[in-house]
A and B are shown apart, each in its own frame.
Chain A
Amino acid sequence: DQQVKQNSPSLSVQEGRISILNCDYTNSMFDYFLWYKKYPAEGPTFLISISSIKDKNEDGRFTVFLNKSAKHLSLHIVPSQPGDSAVYFCAAKPPFAGNMLTFGGGTRLMVKP
């Protein structure tokens, strides 16, 4: 039972354009959502998070949107850069669960120069 799903295994975008990565979840108890980026041979790196009481959070070129009614979140990267090419994971955490995260399967983003 996959509680967090990333339905697009890969995404290709031109440099300078917007990258939109999507994530769906089924557990309505999740209260924090996070995005991680992963390069080969490295551990995931935290990008941005959002609490369930918000619907948008921005950090530089990265914006995360949360639609609780649709149980959907998305990560927007504007403008996309070749260095953004990596695998992106969304993750979610229920309340009273410390740092226990449930991850999606990941989306490989390729930004072409």
Chain B
Amino acid sequence: KAGVTQTPRYLIKTRGQQVTLSCSPISGHRSVSWYQQTPGQGLQFLFEYFSETQRNKGNFPGRFSGRQFSNSRSEMNVSTLELGDSALYLCASSLHYGDTIYEQYFGPGTRLTVT
């Protein structure tokens, strides 16, 4: 079974630009979460999607947005990029969404550099 795939793996953008990152979950997984990893703040939750609906959102400005498609694939978008947005963006998929914990499988991440 293929794992979580993220594209692109590396990206360089300029301040003020916008960027879209893509995540394909494991086949059959319906929940997709996004995390940002930086040296200073560690791994921080961005948002979670299930059944094409955002279920949870972390403490990030509105410049960070996402969506999920009917095939469970997800994209996240960052508008008006700032230098501080340079980070590793990780996507994780899990089978379901619910009150109990479902094991999350992480992709390798997209390394975004903002210059």
With the chains together, A89 CA to B37 CA distance in Å? 12
A26 within 8 A of B: no
Residue among A41, A91, A100, A103 facing the most chain B CB atoms (10 A cut-off): A100
**How does the 8 Å CB contact mask read for B99-115 relative to A, with 1 for contact and 0 for none?**
10111111111000000
Query: How many residues on A have C-beta within 8 angstroms of the other chain's C-beta atoms?
Result: 26
A98 touching B97, Cβ below 8 Å: yes
Instruction: Tell me the total A-B contact number using a CB cutoff of 8 A.
Output: 65
Query: How many residues on B have C-beta within 8 angstroms of the other chain's C-beta atoms?
Result: 28
Main secondary structure of the interface of B (DSSP, over half): strand
Q: A12-20, A42-50, A68-76: which one contacts chain B?
A: A42-50
Chain B residues near A (Cβ < 8 Å)? 4, 31, 33, 35, 42-45, 48, 50, 55-56, 58, 90, 92, 94, 97-99, 101-109
